[in-house]
Amino acid sequence: MLTGSAPISAEVLDFLKICFCCPIVEGYGMTETSAGSFTQLTNDPLSGHVGGPQGNVKIRLKDIPEMNYSSQNAEPTGECVFWGPSIMSGYYKNPEKTAEAFEGPPENGWLKSGDVVKVFPNGAIKIIDRAKNIFKLSQGEYVAPEKVENILIQSPWLGQVWLHGDSLNNHCLLFAVIDELKIKAWCEANGKSVGPDVLEDKALKDEVYADVVRLCKANKLNSLETPKNFMLILEPWTVEMDILTPTMKMKRNIARKMYENQIK
């Protein structure tokens, strides 16, 4: 049996192998690469990766220094780029998008996947991140987090926002640094003291979430783009914490590691 289109967790895959009592292999590819470009070997006992490249493609890694991904790491990482006879010649009547998709001229260039991978010693790869700020939920739908974040930051309650999602779950999570003046005013009005404990106050969370939903509806965001759960944070994110770049952009891979337990 073969699984593809969206990632499947290693635990689920192991369970299904036992249930059906047959090899189940995971594959990976893109429409632009004529679909399947990586496939696990049928006798590979390890789940959680998509195998090695098939004969129709060559791959290499593109370093992403700002995200600490490098082909020179002990475990090589980087954006997966493709070359081979199955690679598309371009997007129909769209030379601008075609030029963006390739490194070098499309007729002999390398196609950028947008997926960050880790390469194992045996040549198999594991998809670990997105080079572009976009992620896929388990329904197979893509969400552009920056678009949602630019809307939610308009809330008077929120000083900094980060939207998280991954392809093993069917909804987004919101992490937000609460506005300092707003939380002080709310605490004074409700006889509370400012501190981490107040961020778990149900009345406060209900008020903040109501404003989040209001903004999502007003800007016609769909239900997948609307966060279903959220966490409020008191301490602002800074460059010194290594969670922001010098230009104040979120390092999403660092944020995921920092809030790994809360995400789970």
Q: Where are the alpha helices (DSSP H) in 60-179?
A: 95-101, 145-152
- Predicted confidence at residue 63, as pLDDT, reads 94
Q: Evaluate whether 143 touches 134 at the Cβ level (below 8 Å).
A: yes
From residue 86, give the alpha-carbon distance in Å to each of 69, 89, 126, 147, 159: 27, 9, 21, 33, 47
Domains along the sequence of the chain with CATH: 2-130 (2.30.38.10), 135-263 (3.30.300.30)
Q: Give the global pTM.
A: 0.70
Residue with tokens 């239900």: 223
Sort 37 into a burial class: Cβ within 10 Å, 0-12 / 13-18 / 19+. Answer: buried
pLDDT in tens, the chain (264 residues): 999 887 788 889 999 999 999 999 999 999 999 988 999 999 998 999 999 999 999 999 999 887 788 999 999 999 999 999 999 999 999 999 999 999 988 778 899 998 999 999 999 999 988 887 788 898 888 888 988 999 999 999 999 999 999 988 999 999 999 999 999 999 999 999 999 999 999 999 999 999 999 999 999 999 999 999 999 999 999 999 999 987 788 888 899 999 999 999
- Predicted confidence at residue 144, as pLDDT, reads 85
Q: Where are the alpha helices (DSSP H) in 51-138?
A: 95-101
Q: Distance between CA 101 and CA 117 in Å, rounded?
A: 18
